[in-house]
Amino acid sequence: MSEQIYYEDIAVGSEITPLVKQPTTRQLVMWAGASGDYYSIHYDKDFAQSKGLPGVIVHGQLVGCFLGQLMTDWMGEQGSLRKLTCGYKSVNFPGETLICKGKINKSYIEDGEHYIECNLWVENTKGEKTVSGKALVTLPSRG
């Protein structure tokens, strides 16, 4: 675990340490088991092709959870993830390298809590943003 970050340390406009993921078909099977999402488009190539896709695709929600991990890794144990949104813009394929990134959009104090809002996105190696989202976290304060 990295060192705890504090609200006062965070500059608006700065970037979050990226998280690199490379989901394999094995990981999709593990996700299907853990999430209960057994839609065949994620493991049956013939079925996926019958739906007009080149092959099986990564579960959108798994990639969304990668963005959750990006935030929990960054905010540390004292931070809390309050909100997470993700829009699945285009599909991801197993074997692709996915880079999860974030940028600080806003920081504010409300009702004694120290909030950081971030814009998040996932890029493939072609630089395409396949998933974009937002997170709202609270961080501890040095004050």
Partner 1 sequence: MAEGSLNIEDLKGKIGMEWEPGIYEIEKGMLRQFAQAIDDPNPLWQNEEYARKSRYGGIIATPTFVLTIGFEQIQQILASISPGTILHGDTALESYQPIRPGDMITATTKITNIRERQSEKGRTVFMTFEITHINQRQELVAKCRQMIVSY
* Binding interface with partner 1 (CB under 8 A): 1, 21, 27, 30-31, 33-37, 39, 41, 51-52, 59-62, 64-66, 68-69, 72-73, 77-78, 80-88, 91
Tokens 């999402």 correspond to: 37
Token readout for 65 is 């959870």
* Shorter beta-carbon distance to partner 1: residue 14 or 78: 78
Minimum CB separation from partner 1 for residue 8, in Å? 19
Minimum CB separation from partner 1 for residue 127, in Å? 22
Q: Is 50 helix (H, G, I), strand (E, B) or coil?
A: helix
* Shorter beta-carbon distance to partner 1: residue 11 or 20: 20
Q: Give the other-Cβ count within 10 Å of 108's Cβ.
A: 10
Beta bridge partners of 131: 88, 122
Minimum CB separation from partner 1 for residue 50, in Å? 9
* Shorter beta-carbon distance to partner 1: residue 10 or 70: 70
- Chain centroid offset of residue 93 CA: 16
Minimum CB separation from partner 1 for residue 29, in Å? 9
Q: Give the C-alpha separation, 134 to 19, whole Å.
A: 15
* Shorter beta-carbon distance to partner 1: residue 13 or 77: 77
Rounded to a whole number of angstroms, the distance between the first and last alpha carbons of the chain is 23
